[in-house]
Chains A and B, each alone.
Chain A
Amino acid sequence: MQSPFTCYPAGDLARWAQGPCGFWDLAGVLGLGGTTALGATMKGSTSTFDREAFASANSQGDDLPRFTGRLRPAVEAVAALRWPVRRKLLAGFLCGASLLVAMGVLSLVAMDQMDGRRTEYEQAQQKTALARQMLYDVTAQSHYRAMALTLQSRPTLQKASTDRELTDPAHYEDSLAEAREDFAGKFDALQDLDTEDQAMFRGLGDANRQYRQSSARVSQLYADGDWHRAMVAHIRREHTDSHDVEDLLGAYVKAAVRDMAAAGQAYESSNQLHTLTVLGFSALSVLAAMTLGFIFSWAFILPVRQVQGALGELSMGRFPDPVVVRNRDEFGLLARDLNTTSDRLQALFAHQRDLAAELGETNASLARASEAKSNFLASVSHELRTPLNAVLGFTEALLAGVDGPLNDEQKTSLGWVQRGGSHLLSLINELLDMARVEAGRLTFAPERFSPVDTVRSVIEEHRPLADTKGIGLAYRDEGAPSVVVHDPQRVRQILSNLLGNAVKLTAVGEVEVILSQVDNGLRVAVRDPGPGVPEHEREAIFEEFHQAHGSEHGTGLGLSISRRLARAMGGDISVESEVGRGSTFALWVPETYTLPGASSHDPSREVPELQ
């Protein structure tokens, strides 16, 4: 019945579940789409939450969202991992974090590579610039040489300007030497910069040395004042040597410019490549993080939904099928506990239903037994009454002298027979009434009558006994309804019982009957100055066979029957009492008897006017 996934030793899981839960907070980080639904659920639970609306807006049970079915194996694998939830969440977080780290490393590598490309390009730029400046230095040397020789050969030109620097051949000699030194410095710098083109630098160095030698010779001749030979040497040697250097440098510059362009292009293309790579990897990382988040979230959402669905069924009073989840974590425990709880509830429910059925049967058989008892009592009472009536009838006839005159002794004896028989008859009548009450066979013959007349008549019935005992019987009308609709015999029976008890229990003083109208009904209170009823007995005296004051007369049924009759008429009997000062028993009935279950406007219940 239970899934194998939900059956494992509880000890391990309990230990997992109790561990520190610092990573629970990370659920939000990893939750993505999944936790928003959960969040909605939780928010909802704090306010009035419409279960049906929520359920219909969210697919329930074991379904993943649309288009994500392919991820089910992964989701189930995470669920089936035998790890506690916090460890699963930690693992999910670490996966996401490692993606971030990888992305960072890739970016660093790309930046480093681009830095290299940029350096290459900048070096090419520098080489080109240096070579061009060197080319200028060579040209400048030729220019200074030409100026110095020209000024020397044409002395008149030395007056062409007042600026000494422009007309002094020695100045050009100095500038030439300066340019030569500049060239040498730059040549060293270039050689430091470019370590690859050694052959070219050797050629350039040789050509430069040649040039320096021929230039030194011209300078020597010039310094000796032999400017003519100096001019010749310049034209023959120095000039061509400078051209050799210029040609070599020109070729180098051309190559350097070509290299520079190539490096620039390489930098550009590598820039594009790396941008694309980083962007692509970022996109992939986001996708992977979302997938991870989805997988981990749904590994928890699915069991929660199933458990929630089953709990929903339970809350609506239906017993759900066992929840089968793949989770081997706290959610697995949750499902297992839910299944156990549901099973137990179901067993309890079934047990209770059986008990209720048994109880029903017991009740039915009890009712049958009670009915049989009541029937028996009723028929026995009836059978008892017939001969008793004969006893009473003949006694009365004898006392009346039907069979001839009796002496006093005989009359006294027959008087005892008559009183005993009457008492016996009233006991039997009470038993019969009780049996009828219990069998629900009380019948009422409601008619209009005057309650005042009935009360007076009952009082007169009891007056002989009251007179004998020497107690008073008073009557007071405080505004009773002039007419009520009830069975007068039943009202009389109740009042007779109450008044009879009062007279019986009163030794001295006065019993008072007070009629009034209370709550739209008739209230008849019988107040006696008798011993009173202790508080703990005030309900018990209405129970069957309970006899107050150890009374030697009566069945103990009188008050019980009276109250049942009163209640069957829609009223009640209440008692107020103070021990030692007397009691007041009050009958209250509505003005009009209503058949049980009948509407108050039932025309069939209408009672003819009292004649």
Chain B
Amino acid sequence: MARILIVDDTPANLALAGKLLTAAGHVALSAGTASAGVTLAAGELPDLVLMDLGLPDMDGTRALNALRSNPRTAHLRIVAFTAFAMPADRDRALAAGFDGFLSKPIRFATFATDVAGLLE
């Protein structure tokens, strides 16, 4: 049982991820924009943040930097959540300071176990 924040501009993704996480027994928080996500993270201090990289108002990496530069949120576990699934994209995300990488699309069979792995 963990509190997980999903930042994604696609409502369907937010809804599906929220449904699957809830079904797995977690508490799902969602934000449709990067700035809303940063604000929510600072208020709620979730156990895990799934951050989409292609957000319209702010690049996912900049949102990450914003969270890291705030002492309250600097320690949060933040994971890149993206459809760019090439190994190079994964490396780039890790190099940018993300704690992990979760690829889209969301597959029912693997999503819950992948998230569980990221929480450990």
Contacts and interface: CB of A to CB of B under 8 A. Distances in A.
Interface of A: 382, 385-387, 389-390, 392-394, 396-397, 400, 402-403, 443, 445
A396 B112 CA distance: 13
Nearest to B111: A393
B88 A402 contact: no
Given A390-B16, A393-B16, A445-B86, 6 more contacts: A382-B83, A387-B12, A393-B12, A393-B106, A402-B23, A403-B19
Interface of B: 10, 12-13, 15-16, 19-20, 23, 83, 86-88, 104-109
Contacts of B10: 386, 390
B86 A394 contact: no
Contact of A396 (B83, B86, B108): B108
13 contacts: A386-B13, A386-B83, A390-B12, A390-B105, A393-B105, A394-B12, A394-B16, A394-B19, A397-B16, A397-B19, A397-B23, A402-B23, A443-B88
A394 B12 CA distance: 9
A288 to B, nearest CB: 94
A385 B20 CA distance: 20
A393 B88 CA distance: 26
Contacts of B19: 394, 397, 402-403
B105 A389 contact: yes
Contacts of B12: 386-387, 390, 393-394
A390 B13 contact: yes
A386 B105 CA distance: 8
A443 B108 contact: no
Give the interface SS of chain B, mostly helix, strand, loop or mixed.
helix
Contacts of A385: 83, 105
B105 A397 contact: no
B60 to A, nearest CB: 16
A393 B13 CA distance: 9
A402 B23 CA distance: 6
A266 B83 CA distance: 132
B105 A396 contact: no
Contact of B107 (A386, A394, A396, A402): A396
Nearest to B85: A489
A453 B13 CA distance: 34
A255 to B, nearest CB: 140
A59 B19 CA distance: 97
A389 B104 contact: yes
A393 B83 CA distance: 14
A392 B15 CA distance: 13
Contacts of B15: 394
A425 B94 CA distance: 28
A249 to B, nearest CB: 148
A385 B83 CA distance: 10
A403 B19 CA distance: 9
Contacts of B23: 397, 402
A397 B88 contact: no
Contacts of B107: 393, 396
B105 A445 contact: no
A393 B108 contact: yes
A400 B24 CA distance: 12
A446 to B, nearest CB: 10
A387 B10 CA distance: 9
Nearest to A386: B10
Nearest to B11: A390
Contact of A389 (B20, B87, B106): B106
A425 to B, nearest CB: 9
Nearest to A388: B105
A387 B12 CA distance: 8
Given A390-B12, A393-B105, A396-B108, A402 B86 contact: no
